[in-house]
Copies of this chain bind each other. A is one copy, B any other.
Amino acid sequence: MVKQLDAVFHALADPTRRTMVRTLAGADRTVGELAAPHPISLAAASKHIKVLERAGIVQRTVRGRQHVCRLVAEPLAAASDHLRFYERFWTGRLDALEAFVTPAPEEDPE
């Protein structure tokens, strides 16, 4: 079973998917609208969106024959938190020591 964070990072590892998410940040879109800017078939776009759904980043509402996609930000927040842990490495400020205190989330131990 894939963990949420795995799925989120994997979803964002593809530029096509990142563009889709970026678009959804502006407004809800149908599958067709999300696919349009990309030189891929609708079926391929459909797969991309399924990846985003699996990561919990996108939620779908069927409205008539169109599927309207909506951005769900919480999983992105989790990923952002994970990265923010390393903030003290690229900001000179060592006062970001709070991050250092944060207990490492104990991943992997299965």
Contacts and interface: CB of A to CB of B under 8 A. Distances in A.
A67 interface: no
A37 interface: yes
Interface string A6-25: 10011011111011011001
A73 interface: yes
Interface residues of A, number: 35
Interface in A68-94: 71, 73-74, 76-77, 79-80, 82-87, 89-90
Given A18-B82, A22-B85, 20 more contacts: A3-B15, A6-B13, A10-B10, A13-B13, A19-B107, A21-B86, A22-B104, A25-B86, A38-B108, A71-B89, A73-B86, A73-B90, A74-B90, A76-B83, A76-B86, A76-B89, A76-B90, A79-B83, A80-B80, A80-B86
